[in-house]
């Protein structure tokens, strides 16, 4: 598997076909022989900014961390144990409701979207 080709920027779909997000980065761990293994998929603007690097990446990651409410909050993490299979998308074995919400999306929902009239489906 080529991580950059087979995983990065792929859509993530839960077991019911609902979109979860896109793979912004991966978490690698090394075994005793020094062989790397993918242990988790990382989602969110902070993970994407860290992956991009440079001034643009620092701006994206820094803004995402500031708006999430905590500068040291890690990006959303999906363990590889929850992956069913990878084809044109990464398909999960769990429902979206069992996963944490990305920090920036939570902030945007709470501070911006809910202030729009009709956003909470009230009549």
Assess whether pLDDT exceeds 90 at residue 99: no
Decide the pairing of beta strands 90-92 and 11-13: parallel
Q: What does the block give as tokens for 117? A: 């009239």
Residue 25: inside a domain: yes
Give the whole-angstrom CA distance, residue 39 versus residue 79.
6
Q: Is 24 within a domain?
A: yes
Q: Is residue 56 part of a domain?
A: yes
Q: Is 121 contained in some domain?
A: no
The answer to whether 68 and 100 are in contact (CB under 8 A) is no
- CATH of residue 69: 2.30.30.240
Counting the structural domains of the chain, the total is 1
Instruction: List, for residues 28-84, the tens digit of each pLDDT value.
Output: 999 999 999 999 999 887 888 888 889 998 888 888 777 776 667 777 889 999 999
Residue 22 to residue 102: CA distance in whole angstroms: 11
Q: CA–CA separation, 4 vs 7, rounded Å? A: 6
**So what's the pLDDT on residue 122?**
58
Neighbouring residues of 82: CB distance < 8 A, sequence distance ≥ 6: 92, 93, 94
User: What is the predicted pLDDT for the residue at 109?
Assistant: 79
User: Token digits for 35?
Assistant: 């062989």
Structural domain boundaries, residue 89: 3-115
- Does residue 29 form part of some domain? yes
Which has the closest alpha carbon to 48: 9, 16, 84, 78?
9
83: in domain: yes
Q: pTM of this prediction?
A: 0.74
């Amino acid at each position: 598997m080529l991580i950059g080709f087979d995983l990065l920027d792929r859509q993530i779909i839960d077991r019911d076909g609902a979109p979860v997000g896109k793979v912004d980065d991966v978490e690698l761990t090394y075994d005793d022989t020094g062989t790397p293994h993918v242990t988790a998929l990382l989602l969110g603007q902070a993970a994407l900014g860290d992956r991009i690097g440079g001034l643009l990446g620092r701006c994206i990651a820094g803004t995402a961390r500031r708006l999430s409410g905590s500068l040291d909050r890690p990006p959303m993490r999906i363990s590889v144990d929850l992956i069913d299979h990878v084809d044109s998308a990464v398909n999960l074995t769990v429902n979206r409701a069992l996963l944490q919400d990305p920090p920036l999306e939570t902030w945007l929902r709470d501070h911006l979207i809910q202030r729009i009239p009709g956003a909470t489906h009230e009549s």
